[in-house]
Structure 1
Amino acid sequence: MKKIERAENLVQSRLELFQCPVCHHRYLNLTGNTLVCEKGHAIDFNRHGYLHFLNTQGTTEYDRAMFISRRKLLSAGLFKPIIERINQLLPTTPQTILDVGTGEGTPLAQLASLRKERDFYVGFDISKPGITLATQLNMKAFFCIADLRQLPFTDQSFDTVLELFSPSDYQEFNRVLKENGLLIKVIPNADYLLELRHLLYGNEDQHYHYDNSKVLELFKKHYPDAQVLRVRYQFDLPNDLITDMVKMTPMSWGKNAQQLTDDELTNFHSITVDVSLLVGKK
């Protein structure tokens, strides 16, 4: 089955999840490659098998090369303990799961593999290169380009919203979450990718240190009973992925970021992953 046919079948099977970002009415039908809402607004699937819900091109600073480097590291297991912990938090019953800022989709694919793909998965991002790569994954999920602040999904349509290292819109998250639905947000802690940060920046630079207190404070404001679960471990870097480790993170884009020498890269053998899982319930 072609990618576009697979995506159309997935959307057709759960048409009630989607709403028009223009008028906020439900989509009535899928005819051919075209999705049409109650007010007659139409959107077409493209050849990659995703829907583009934005009025813009969906471009960001995150380019294809960065996403490819990211996929290599994630496929090698960089975030594996995080995904395993998320899986432990989810109910064993089938879930409808929305992945916010899904990028190239590997974390969602790894979660689906752990859960034997029993759920219905939707991933979205603003980045066209990321979503194009995500549609190449061998998994049963629908991907789209969409605006975080104007989600093309109906009210109370998801059991779980996941958000790994992405911006948040808690009002929209609560709108699309079912009653008692879960929001799981992953944020970096002070030691996240510590070795790379200290290679790239001097002690006086703001990027040398990281403080997540404001993000945590805002989450607790919206979800006062939230759980905060820490996941911390060392990841051994495969020699052939050291350069990709530098490329996969926007850390290297900073104005004062140093160009790393071959010797520095050669001695770069492991990286600290230190995150908090913020778990809120609607």
Structure 2
Amino acid sequence: MKIGLIIIMKKIDWGAQFVAQHLSLFACPVCHQPYQHVENHTVSCANGHSLDFNRRGSLYFLPHAVTTEYDSAMLAARRKMLTAGLFQPLVKAINDQLPTGSQTILDVGTGEGTPLAQLDELRQQTDDTLIGFDLSKDGINLATQLTTKAFFCVADLAKLPFTNQQFDAVIELFSPSAYSEFERILKPGGRIVKIVPNRDYLVELRHALYEPAAPQFQYDNQRVVALFKEHYPLMTVTPIHYQFAIGPDKIADMMAMTPLSWGSDDLHRQTLLTRPVTAVTVDVSVLTVRV
């Protein structure tokens, strides 16, 4: 089985094998030409540009190092919360929007990769091809530790290192979008499935971490939804609303995993840690369209 190979093979060998088997998906970030071959843990295009796989079996498609606020500590806390099931209903909602047959799926802003791995497990479709990318190197390093057949890489949303019309679906959980790039890489009739927060998303944290006069106390997603609708008037919207238990055992990780806490002060953060909320609200919309 493919997952068995991931366990037995060195990660660098598995990553090189994945790209070699799906070479038609990948494009050189320098000249944008399709890659032609993989040899000795290096992938190359016809113009002689090449990239080496790192020991984790991943590729770094950026021309220079990028520092993001999504560091390893934040992403490790996020993994704990997602492994505990925080976004499991969202993963199911994404799967509900996808055909049951084999799909080539790109996860935009995959972070530490847990939602894509959970989607892989939920679908149980051995012929799926799954790729997740993120700007955060720390996130991709964590993602490559997962037991999944998904391939993870570091890449730029605005300049996707993938060839035209190769993907069946682009999925996003709370990530920025580059719609022209999505349309370029999607097959005709391919799907975009985008999850955006609604007004009450993590409202308990917002109200505990900020005073009512603070801009973070409230949230409005209308600009994001309107932009999606401007691009795709035939989109569908599926609301999802549920409570997820937190309590003292999870509150520190819950705070660490979300940018909500970044703008708060020490007093509000410490008060929430010592008097944690018992649950948080997950209030989102699933925006879906075929392009």
Which bracket does the TM-score occupy, shorter chain normalised? over 0.9
Q: How does 1:41-56 map to 2 (within 5 A)?
A: 41-56=49-64
2:98 partner letter: L
Unpaired stretches in structure 1, ≥5 consecutive residues: none
1:69 to 74, 77, 83: 77
The count of corresponding residues between Structure 1 and Structure 2 is 282
Q: In structure 2, which of residues 175, 183, 191 is the aligned counterpart of residue 166 of structure 1? A: 175
Q: State the Cα distance separating 1:61 from its structure 2 match.
A: 0.6
Residue equivalent to 1:146: 155
Percentage identity across paired residues of the two chains: 53
1:95-110 superposed matches below 5 A: 95-110=103-118
Q: d(CA) in 1 for partners of 2:118 and 2:67? A: 25
Please point out which of 171, 179, 190 is paired with 2:188.
Answer: 179
Partners of 1:266 and 1:204 lie apart in 2 by 22
After TM superposition, the structure 1 = structure 2 runs for residues 106-117 of structure 1, keeping only pairs within 5 Å, are: 106-117=114-125
Instruction: Report the TM-score when normalising by structure 2.
Output: 0.94
Equivalent of residue 213 in structure 1, options 222, 245, 254: 222
Distance 1:270-1:255 versus aligned 2 partners, 3 A rule: closer
- Tell me, yes or no, if the aligned pair for 2:261 and 2:269 is still in contact at 8 Å: no
Task: Write the letter of the residue equivalent to 1:142.
Answer: F
The alignment yields a C-alpha RMSD, in angstroms, of 1.3
Instruction: Give per-residue Cα distances to partners, 1:197-239, cap 9 Å, x unaligned.
Output: 1101111011000000000000001111000110000001153
Residue of structure 1 in register with 2:278 after alignment: 269
Tell me if the contact between 1:161 and 1:183 (Cα under 8 Å) persists in the aligned partners. yes
* Residue matched to 1:88: 96
Matched to 2:36, the amino acid is L
Which structure 2 residues correspond to residues 186-205 of structure 1 after superposition, within 5 A? 186-205=195-214
Would the alpha carbon gap of residues 258 and 193 (structure 1) be closer, same or farther in structure 2, given more than 3 Å must change? farther
Counterpart residue identity of residue 154, structure 2 = I
Q: Give the secondary structure class of the aligned counterpart of 2:250.
A: helix
Does residue 32 of structure 1 match 2:33?
Answer: no
TM (norm. structure 1) is: 0.97
Give the drift of 1:260: 2.5
Q: Deviations over 1:41-67 (max 9, x none)?
A: 010001111000001213201110000
Structure 2 segments unaligned to the other structure (5+ residues): 1-8
Q: Which amino acid aligns with 1:5?
A: D
2:135 paired with 1:132: no
Alpha-carbon distance between aligned partners in 2 of 1:146 and 1:264, rounded to the nearest angstrom: 35
Matched, 1:226 2:232: no
CA contact (8 A) 2:245 2:278 kept: yes
What SS class does the counterpart of residue 159 from structure 1 fall into? strand
CA–CA distance in 1 between the matches of 2:47 and 2:238? 44
> In 2 relative to 1, CA 263–132 (structure 1 residues): closer, same or farther, beyond 3 Å?
closer
